[in-house]
Amino acid sequence: MIKKEFGVTLSELCKASSKSRKEISLESGVSYRFIEELIKGEKQPSIKTLFNLAAALDVTACDLVSPTWEKWCDAGQPEEPEIQENEETL
């Protein structure tokens, strides 16, 4: 749910932007393919990617995250956020 909802929000913000997805890709440093995967709900962004996309879209990171957060809370938090552990977090 989280990845899909984030993808919907990202798609809406891309459409509302005066920039093409290619321009957003170039300005954010995020590959066009990865943006498409985010929009389809196949991937989720790192914090750095989130900030870079927000800057390229001329919105805040909160604008990208809040709609997903609100839907997740309204749904009673049906799934746990994915936590990826690595040696630095252990």
pLDDT at residue 77, as a whole number = 66
Cα-to-chain-centroid distance, residue 29: 14
Distance separating alpha carbons of residues 78 and 82, to the nearest angstrom: 12
Q: pLDDT digit string (tens) for 20-40?
A: 999 999 999 999 999 999 999
**Which tokens in the block code for residue 4?**
């899909």
Architecture per CATH, 2-74: Orthogonal Bundle (1.10)
- Decide: 27 and 17 in contact? Cβ < 8 Å: no
Residue 76, pLDDT score: 74
* CA dihedral sign, ordered 40, 83, 72, 27: negative
Q: What is the pLDDT of residues 43-84, one digit of tens each?
A: 999 999 999 999 999 999 999 999 988 888 887 765 555 555
